[in-house]
Amino acid sequence: MIDREYYPLAMAAEILECSEDDLIHFAATQKIEVHVLADKYISVRHYKDGSDKYIFLPSVALVSHEYFSSLEISNVHTLLMLIIPGTENNNELFNVFPPFLDGMGEEIELSDFVILHGELMKIKKPVEQNVLAPKDVSDREESTYLNIIGGLLGLMLGETPAGAKQSVYINQSAIVSALLVHYEDKAGISKRTLESKFAKANKSITQE
């Protein structure tokens, strides 16, 4: 194998002796990161402020794993979110649309997706050894995680012996809102999931 900076999905699948569907699954389950190498003008909508833009994507941009999760479940191309490196490490998130600004903009196809060399090497040995299957979390491990979360929630919302607040958060909803502001693009960080996990954590930490 000749080392390259990146590999199209078809080439990566051939090297790993798996299918492109396997690679999509690995991307959906965050085993690997997949990028776009487009070298084309695309129409995008800014994830935060909703503004429409027409930009040239000359280099690699990270594809969010949620896209592959939706693609794997429905086999329908949903909105494609790209994480594009900005200045001073300030990455920007864009939803990619079909051409909509005066009919301009080119489509991004699955053939534009690539796997960088480092990502390919990271997954090559686990694929060969077939050790990428998810491991079940034991009841003891889940209880440990819930107790840690519940303990942290209790500290953040508690008071000192003198009656002073131990954090700036007045209630659990404020913590959820802060997490959504800072980490909404991360797996599991959604209002519904956080509220569900926090409820389980609060119950776990208070059990005798």
> Tokens 């060969």 — which residue?
128
Which residues does 48 contact at the CB level (< 8 Å), separation at least 6?
A: 93
Q: Is residue 134 part of a domain?
A: no
For position 88, what pLDDT does the model report?
Answer: 52
Residue 32's domain comprises 6-129
Q: Is residue 48 part of a domain?
A: yes
Are residue 125 and residue 145 in the same domain, yes or no?
Answer: no
Cβ count near 132 (within 10 Å): 15
For position 73, what pLDDT does the model report?
Answer: 66
Could you report the average pLDDT of every consecutive run of 10 residues in the chain (208 residues)? Answer: 82 87 86 83 77 76 80 64 68 73 74 88 75 66 91 92 90 92 81 89 88
For position 176, what pLDDT does the model report?
Answer: 92
Cβ count near 117 (within 10 Å): 14
- Last residue of one domain, picked from the residues 70, 94, 129: 129
For position 128, what pLDDT does the model report?
Answer: 67
Which residues does 109 contact at the CB level (< 8 Å), separation at least 6?
A: none
For position 89, what pLDDT does the model report?
Answer: 57
Q: Is residue 51 part of a domain?
A: yes
What span, in angstroms and rounded, lies between the C-alpha atoms of 68 and 31?
Answer: 12
Q: Is residue 23 part of a domain?
A: yes
Please tell me the total count of domains within the chain: 2
CB-based contact 76:128 (threshold 8 Å): no
Q: Is residue 1 part of a domain?
A: no
- Last residue of one domain, picked from the residues 129, 159, 180: 129
What span, in angstroms and rounded, lies between the C-alpha atoms of 70 and 109?
Answer: 16
pTM of the shown model: 0.54
What span, in angstroms and rounded, lies between the C-alpha atoms of 98 and 107?
Answer: 6
Q: Is residue 55 part of a domain?
A: yes
Are residue 158 and residue 95 in the same domain, yes or no?
Answer: no
Are residue 115 and residue 143 in the same domain, yes or no?
Answer: no
Q: Is residue 100 part of a domain?
A: yes
What span, in angstroms and rounded, lies between the C-alpha atoms of 128 and 83?
Answer: 30
What span, in angstroms and rounded, lies between the C-alpha atoms of 70 and 80?
Answer: 10
For position 205, what pLDDT does the model report?
Answer: 92
CB-based contact 120:128 (threshold 8 Å): no
